[in-house]
Amino acid sequence: MGDPSGIGPEVIAAALTLPTLWRGAIPLVFGDPGVLERALGARRFRRLRLESFGAGRPSAPAIVPLDAGSTSEPGKPDPAGARLQFDSIVRACNAMARGDADALCTAPVSKAQIATVEPGFVGHTEFLAERFHSTVLMLMAGPRLRVALATTHLPLSEVPRKLDRGSLAANLRLLDAELRKRFAIQSPRLAVTGLNPHAGEQGHFGREEIDVIRPAVEDAVASGVDVSGPFSADGLFPRVAQGAYDAVLAMYHDQGLIPVKLADFESAVNVTLGLPFVRTSPDHGVAYDLAGKDEADPRSTIAAVRLAIRLARGS
Amino acid sequence: MGDPSGIGPEVIAAALTLPTLWRGAIPLVFGDPGVLERALGARRFRRLRLESFGAGRPSAPAIVPLDAGSTSEPGKPDPAGARLQFDSIVRACNAMARGDADALCTAPVSKAQIATVEPGFVGHTEFLAERFHSTVLMLMAGPRLRVALATTHLPLSEVPRKLDRGSLAANLRLLDAELRKRFAIQSPRLAVTGLNPHAGEQGHFGREEIDVIRPAVEDAVASGVDVSGPFSADGLFPRVAQGAYDAVLAMYHDQGLIPVKLADFESAVNVTLGLPFVRTSPDHGVAYDLAGKDEADPRSTIAAVRLAIRLARGS
């Protein structure tokens, strides 16, 4: 459910009450039933009955009831809500570990709120990687572009020294394997961006392409991955949008997310690759300023649920 | 004309022979007449007669004949061609300084070739800035996005320390003034990107937004510029493409050019702001591998000429 004081409950309610979304799939929610009831009640077009649930594979829409012990007022986070956010992640992970469900879609949490009750918490993705002893890779997947990120949330000045040959080659092998397994792409064609303008122009504007990225590409090719580059990033994305490659490995956050959000606005979904199960999430935060006003846009959550179902089917 | 051995002569010939492009405007070419004749001759649909010209304002399509003294074979640059490239820039600048013409559109040069005969030459834009004692700003202008770059061709690792408050504020004032003067936008609305992911997220992923960019924005606002930001770059560009701002100041090459090329592929034009006249250029290089094969795509040059004419009229 994410933060019960954010827009999570509303966008979950919107997804839950969209009948076409769930054909052949069963939703199981981890969160405060009262908060969800309130969010469902605010939606006029369909009432939904959720069974209270413990463990096992649900046979009908169900909720694992977690007591917030909090007022969970929209827009007003409190420590009990912070505890609920963390507990819902832990309980959902336990369910995934038992095989109770096939895919996990996470609503937005407040990292700052959770850190007040669980010091050291830095985000869903990092928590999942540790919980499942996995090396993960963030992929933004939209209808026109799929872009994985070699680095994510760090200052731009730290990006150049974070790139290393071994990790980049491992990212490419993981991306290749997950596109085959989850996206049912038989022979994925991958491309890699450069770090510098014009991919360094033969070393004139930086040497990372020569010293790090190209050797990583060569390592991945030697492992059987069909990957090209490094390419000048500005020239690459129009070609990818026209179908030249199945996915791109970008070197840093803005280099990858600027094209995805421009090409696939509102329909791009964050997918965590490398876990033993499918995990997706909408691409927005808790948005306290919008919570409880029935103004939150549920499209990203609906897209995240739709993709989770599709990827869990491997199709 | 740019490099006579590159695709410049071909794309110039394509632009010269497009009658609708020149309504009310007169082309004046600086280059080797023999090379241009060859390129024009290869185009079947229209013959064009260029008068040989010295100085003054031409009254009909004209060429200032510069002798390459070179074979100028397509795809095979030589020192005489390098000399011609440089001379054509110098002669065109002299003409602009005299007021013989209202706008300058430059065909691609080889910086490496010119540097063999004129050591220290690093590019058209730098040459023009020095020749006209101007502080210039590179703007990529397309139908959907206009994006200026605070930094251009340098390694990504050098970008963070290149940003300074005074230069950014000066960039914003120049962008505002040029949008009013050249683009006839009465009250330009500007936006600025952050440097770091999520524009630093309140200092969590870097402090340049707090220490440098936001103060520069405040300085520009104090000068009467309507500018907002710094914004998270991935969230900003979709809003700009929908019309929320007239132009963006991006912090570095890929951050600005990735969205422009994705949104305005083949129709984006490089404009140099800050000179005493309008200067545009197509967004590609000499492309020796394509030269002389009648395969070069002239759309970017045509767009660059069209925009130069429009901006010279201030409309």
Give the residue from A258, A265, A286 with the most B CB atoms within 10 Å of its CB, the best one to mutate.
A258
Residues A266, A283: Cα–Cα separation, whole Å: 8
Inter-chain residue contact A262 with B262, CB threshold 8 Å: yes
Helix B8-16 × helix B299-312 angle, to 10°: 60
Nearest Cα of chain A lies from the Cα of B203 at a distance, in angstroms, of: 9
Segments of chain A with pLDDT less than 70 = 42-48, 68-71, 315
pLDDT of residue B266: 79
Nearest Cα of chain B lies from the Cα of A208 at a distance, in angstroms, of: 9
Q: Are strands B62-65 and B189-193 parallel, antiparallel or unpaired?
A: unpaired
Name which residue leads in pLDDT, B267 or B240.
B240
Confidence of residue B47 (pLDDT cuts 50, 70, 90): low
Give the residue from B213, B234, B248 with the most A CB atoms within 10 Å of its CB, the best one to mutate.
B234
Residues of A contacting chain B (CB within 8 angstroms) = 152-157, 159-160, 195-198, 200-201, 204-208, 233-235, 237-238, 241, 252-255, 257-263, 265
Using alpha carbons, select from A35, A44, A34 the residue that is nearest to residue A14.
A44
pLDDT of residue B68: 66
Using alpha carbons, select from B55, B52, B56 the residue that is nearest to residue B65.
B52
pLDDT of residue B92: 96
Inter-chain residue contact A206 with B157, CB threshold 8 Å: yes
φ and ψ at residue A278, rounded to 5 degrees: -80, 135
Please give the radius of gyration of chain A, using alpha carbons only, rounded to the nearest integer: 20
Inter-chain residue contact A234 with B265, CB threshold 8 Å: no
Inter-chain residue contact A197 with B254, CB threshold 8 Å: yes
Residues A17, A9: Cα–Cα separation, whole Å: 12
Confidence of residue B260 (pLDDT cuts 50, 70, 90): very high
Residues B267, A238: Cα–Cα separation, whole Å: 13
The arithmetic mean of pLDDT across residues B296-311, rounded, is: 94
Q: What is the pLDDT of residues B100-131, one digit of tens each?
A: 999 999 999 988 889 889 988 888 999 999 99
Q: What is the pLDDT of residues B50-94, one digit of tens each?
A: 888 888 899 889 999 997 666 678 899 888 899 999 999 999 999
Q: Which residues of A touch B260 (CB under 8 A)?
A: 234
Using alpha carbons, select from A241, A218, A79, A223 the residue that is nearest to residue A146.
A241
Inter-chain residue contact A195 with B262, CB threshold 8 Å: no
Nearest Cα of chain A lies from the Cα of B205 at a distance, in angstroms, of: 5
The arithmetic mean of pLDDT across residues B175-185, rounded, is: 96
Using alpha carbons, select from B76, B75, B52 the residue that is nearest to residue B63.
B52
Inter-chain residue contact B196 with A259, CB threshold 8 Å: no
Reduced to 3 states, what is the DSSP secondary structure of residue B92? Answer: helix
User: Tokens at residue A68, please?
Assistant: 């917030």
Residues B305, B299: Cα–Cα separation, whole Å: 10
Residues B262, A259: Cα–Cα separation, whole Å: 7
User: Tokens at residue B202, please?
Assistant: 């309140």
Chain-centre distance for alpha carbon A289 = 23
Inter-chain residue contact A197 with B252, CB threshold 8 Å: yes
